[in-house]
Amino acid sequence: MSPSVDREGPVGSRPDREAVPGSAGRRRRGGRRGGGDRSMVPEAEFTSYYGRQIVKPSPWEADIPAYLFSGGLAAGSSLLAAGADLTGRPTLRRSGRLGALAALTFSMVALVHDLGRPSRFLNMLRTAKLTSPMSVGTWILSGYGPFAATAAVAELVDMLPVDTTRGPLRLLSLVGGPAGLVAAAGAPPVAAYTAVLLADTATPSWHAAYRELPFVFVGSAAAASGGLGMITSPVAQAGPARRMALGGALLELLAEHRMEDSMGITAEPLHQGKAGGLMKASKALTTAGAVGSLLAGRSRTAAVLSGVALMTGSVCTRFGVFEAGQASARDPRYTVIPQRQRIDRGEPIRSDG
Amino acid sequence: MIGRNSLFGPVDPAAETGYDDPPSRKGFFTDTSVCIGCKACEVACKEWNEVPDDGFNLLGMSYDNTGALGGSTWRHVAFIEQRKPLGAQEPGMRGGPTVDLGMPMVTPAAGANEVQLPDSGTDDDKPFETLAALAPQEPPDFRWLMSSDVCKHCTHAACLDVCPTGSLFRTEFGTVVVQDDICNGCGYCVPACPYGVIERREGDKGTKNVGIAQKCTLCYDRLDSGQRPACAQACPTESIQFGDVDELRERASARVEKLHEAGVMDARLYGNDPEDGIGGAGAFFLLLDEPEVYGFPPDPVVTTRDLPQMFNRAGAAALTLFAGAVVSFLGRRR
Amino acid sequence: MNPSPPEQNSEVFPYVFTTSRLTEHHTAGGMSRYLQYLSELQPEMFVEVSPELAAERGLEHMAWCHVITARSAVEGKVMVTERLSPLRIEGRVVHQVWLPYHWGAGGMVTGDSANDLFGISLDPNVLIQESKVGTCDVRPGRRPTGAALLDYVAGYQNRAGVDTDRHASIVTAGPGVAASAQSNHEGNGHAGSGDS
């Protein structure tokens, strides 16, 4: 590295800025990760401390990306169910409501299991904090969940033989409709907030994606729930599911493409390793499912295959984005390089403009 | 309570949080130019806070076998061996003849590698090795940086912002502390921290506070009784200085000036500026090289700065989903 | 008493080693190796070598190596560092090796004891043990154990010619001194009791 200071003082200082030794001048090795020659105590490179991560990856495991999928699935299913209720598509309604309940239940189990102290999960309700997407999400789920559950239970009650249901249970059947509508109103936030959850971190590949990730996630939710609708409903009733599936898939693919374009170097982990494989699979499956949805209007088989492809693709998307974030946190280059580039451009983050 | 700089920009954190008439903000100034790498800070912290050991691993990172801050390491001493000149430059002795100290010395015979003792007893002595003068050559540049890392207690602390249970809170001293009995180990604070400080403690079931987020408390329990944090108390060179953040910042600026006058032009402050991406750190540093050399992010920013935009985008996406669902049901029954 | 250049067989123990302490442990480690907070700071015995020596002997950073003297061999992880540099003495390159002496059996962290390397040799004037510096060889890989270790060290002793009694004269006063001093100057610094 050419010296930033010689006997005369700091060299290369910009005239309009107080010269901070070392920050003026070009980086000698702009992109290399730290660590370098492993044959001795590694000479500390300027980019990192022995190649070690700076920010920490989240301690989350499969629970969270699984929840990302199931939360989106529940939300989309509730929307489909409510629409089906209003337009007389009973099978679509049923599968939407029950699918939402199943996905919601799985979501709650996954979220509690993920905690370091699961017995304290109720502490999530101690406070409502706007600066915490997880707190906001907790209350969104608390607002959405009971209504989605009520609608599903009403559906289950309807499935029982008529003479086994008495007064109170009959009541449930009546509130099913309104509950389902409230759930549908609360569903879009459920599908979208998880993108803020990931983006509101220092994880490079998550934070850098914050503009498009919500659209990727809602697109994925629509595709997955449309896929579930196609699998479970007869062709005659599944029209809206097919349209949701196609629209969601297109939105997801388009938003994903724009997202990667805007992420700079932090888009790399989306193309490498485990995350890269998952993202590739998700694009392939989502595309296949979208194409299949065009044929699903004529063939139940095509509908099922398309639905499976879309749901699997949605799982791959969530796991792929999750893994990419984790990988971006583990490698210091994704933290150091964008920040160092900012500084070198003369644009470090400042609150005084 | 929500002001212009609530999420980003200079602010007094304790007052911003709502404390009436809080004491002056407390923090650390860690002057790494006098750190001797003794790790007394690591040990003192663990002793006081009953932090469990963090694994017995020879890491090969010079004398750093701790690795990084984490749930069970709240002070971490970094060691960097570098090919750079020591701070005090140019004693002016390079390239000249070896100094003659006037002691019995071996002088090489002309043109030969053999040497003779000046007063050798016999004539036919074989050449005799004694202590030889080092060949006069420039010793290579070398310096060994040592630095004690700690939680920065940011003015805008991302960990605090994202904590969903309210476990992380701002104390009246402006520090950030985890309430051990509330945290449920959701782990959200871990990826939020731009410095990679806080972590969920791992370990066996019986370990104290296992599974929940743990980090430096700036010895909140010592501050109440007028004591210094354990690491500051233990540091033998006063590399770790504890006090009012305002006063520490002044002291630090003066110290950097002094170092620059002495020719140590690499000296710079890190985290002292209230206009930076986290609003300035309660625990800031004097470094002798780029931040990333020590494992610090060069230009950290609190993620919450972008949160309003994030919610806007998510809101738009939610509306898109709703609209898409509506559209899916329009039209002919198919 | 290992041979040194230009004595014969001096290439058997070609390097110089010294021992000293680390901050994190206390003397032979008997008290510090049982404490978790100290043990985790320096958990393993290691051997510091220069990059040049590492290249010469094929030593890899953080791989095993062992240091052999005429008395024993101890193993440790390799720490390649530029803090050690080869010396150029009389046109010869002399490599230095450094070991900490804090390890032994027992405790949370165990390892070989560096002081096993030193022979029972005392300085001729006040009979203080020579336990700070000596000559050695360094080889990659772990040392043999049990009987194999004895054979291994014996092999070194044979090759170096130190399998017979060699010791420094301890006559420091009296009629034998002059003769002893004379013989000190003979035989290339080999202070023997007359046998070369």
Q: What is the pLDDT of residues C41-68, one digit of tens each?
A: 999 999 999 999 999 999 999 999 999 9
**Chain C window 75-134: which residues touch A at a Cβ cutoff of 8 Å?**
79-82
Under the banding of pLDDT at 50, 70 and 90, the label for residue A31 is: very low
A touches which chains (3+ CB pairs under 8 A)? B, C
Mean pLDDT of B129-149: 65
Determine, yes or no, domain membership for C10: no
Phi, psi at residue C24, to the nearest 5°?
A: -80, -20
Nearest CA in chain A to B147: A49
How big is the A-B interface in CB pairs under 8 Å? Answer: 306
Contact state of C90 with B129 under an 8 Å Cβ cutoff: yes
Percent of chain B with pLDDT over 70: 82
Which CATH fold topology does A63-330 show?
Answer: Formate dehydrogenase/DMSO reductase fold (1.20.1630)
Q: Tell me, what's the pLDDT at B331?
A: 76
- For chain A, the maximum distance between any two Cα atoms, rounded to a whole number of angstroms, is 97
State residue A166's pLDDT score. Answer: 72
Residue with the larger pLDDT of the pair C45 and B133: C45
Which chain A residue's Cα is nearest to B4? Answer: A351
Q: 3-class SS at C54?
A: helix
Q: Is residue B307 scored above 60 in pLDDT?
A: yes
Q: Which domain holds residue C43?
A: 15-189
Touching check for A41 and chain C: CB below 8 Å?
yes
Query: ipTM above 0.85?
Result: yes
Q: How many CB pairs under 8 A join B and C?
A: 75
Neighbours of B56 (CB within 10 A): 15
Average pLDDT over residues A307-327: 98
CB neighbour class for B205 (10 Å; exposed up to 12, middle 13-18, buried from 19): exposed
Residue B272 · residue A345 · CB < 8 Å: no
Contacting residues of A for C46, CB less than 8 Å apart: none
Among chain C residues, CA nearest to B45? C37
DSSP per residue, A55-113: SPPPS--THHHHHHHHHHHHHHHHHHHHHHHHTT-HHHHHHHHHHHHHHHHHHHHHHHH
**Whether pLDDT at C106 is above 80:** yes
Question: Given pLDDT bands bounded at 50, 70 and 90, which one contains residue A333?
Answer: very high
- Helix or strand run (H / E) with residue C157: helix C147-160
Contact B115 C90 (CB under 8 A): yes
Query: In chain A, where does DSSP find H-type helix?
Result: 63-86, 90-114, 133-159, 167-199, 204-207, 213-232, 239-262, 273-295, 300-330, 333-344
* Domain-located, residue C194: no
Within a domain: residue C172?
Answer: yes
Structurally, chain C folds into a number of domains equal to: 1
% of chain C exceeding 70 in pLDDT = 84
Distance from CA of B17 to the nearest CA of C (A): 36
Beta carbon pairs, A and C, within 8 Å:
18
The burial of A23, by beta-carbon neighbours within 10 Å (0-12 exposed, 13-18 middle, 19 or more buried), is given as buried
Band (B114; pLDDT cuts 50, 70, 90): very low
Which chain C residues are within 8 Å of A44, Cβ to Cβ? none
What is the secondary structure of B55-92 as a DSSP string? Answer: ------BTTB-S-S-BTTBSEEEEEEEESS--SS---S
Q: Report CA-CA distances (Å) from A180 to A140, A189, B43, B48, C52.
A: 15, 15, 58, 55, 75
Q: How far is C83 from chain B (nearest CA, A)?
A: 8
Q: What is the pLDDT of residues A46-92, one digit of tens each?
A: 579 999 999 999 999 999 999 999 999 999 999 999 999 999 999 99
Task: Tell how far CA A329 is from the center of its chain.
Answer: 17
User: Domain for residue C60, yes or no?
Assistant: yes
Q: Which residue, among B64, B81, B129, would best test binding to C if mutated, counting the most C CBs under 10 Å from its CB? A: B129
Verify whether the Cβ–Cβ distance C60 to A39 is below 8 Å.
Answer: yes
Distances (CA, A) of C61 to B79, B141, C49: 16, 22, 9
Set of chain B residues whose Cβ sits within 8 Å of the Cβ of A348? 276-277, 299
Amino acid C7: pLDDT: 83
Q: Residue A46 has which token pair?
A: 């300027």
In a domain, C6, yes or no: no
- Contact present, B126 and B302 (Cβ < 8 Å): no
Instruction: Look at residue B156 and tell me whether its pLDDT is greater than 70.
Output: yes
pLDDT (tens digit, 9 = 90+) per residue, C111-134? 999 999 998 777 777 877 777 889
Taking residues B55-69, report their average pLDDT.
96
Question: C99 Cβ partners below 8 Å, 6+ apart?
Answer: C17, C18, C19, C45, C46, C47, C48, C67, C74, C76, C114, C117
- Across A121-132, average pLDDT: 96
Identity of the residue numbered B239: S
CA atoms within 13 A on the CB side of A101: 18
Task: Give the pLDDT of residue B332.
Answer: 66
Q: What percent of chain A has pLDDT over 90?
A: 81
Q: Is C7 on the interface with B (CB under 8 A)?
A: no
Mean pLDDT of all residues in A286-307: 96
Query: Which domains can be identified in chain B, with CATH numbers?
Result: 13-85+142-308 (3.30.70.20)
Check whether A132 has a pLDDT greater than 60. yes
Is B158 exposed, middle or buried, given 0-12, 13-18 or 19+ CB atoms closer than 10 A?
A: buried
At residue C69 the predicted structure's pLDDT band, cuts being 50, 70 and 90, is very high
Q: Which tens digit of pLDDT belongs to each residue from C13-30?
A: 999 999 999 999 999 999
Contacts of C83 in chain B (CB under 8 A): 81, 142, 144
- For chain A, which residues make up each domain, given as ranges? 63-330
- Residue A44 contacts B where some CB pair is shorter than 8 Å: yes
Q: Is the dihedral of CA B250, B193, B188, A219 positive or negative?
A: positive
What CATH code is carried by the domain that includes residue C78? Answer: 2.40.40.20
Q: What residues contact residue A328 under an 8 Å CB cut-off, 6+ apart?
A: A203, A204, A205, A206, A266, A268, A269, A334
Q: Is A37 on the interface with C (CB under 8 A)?
A: no
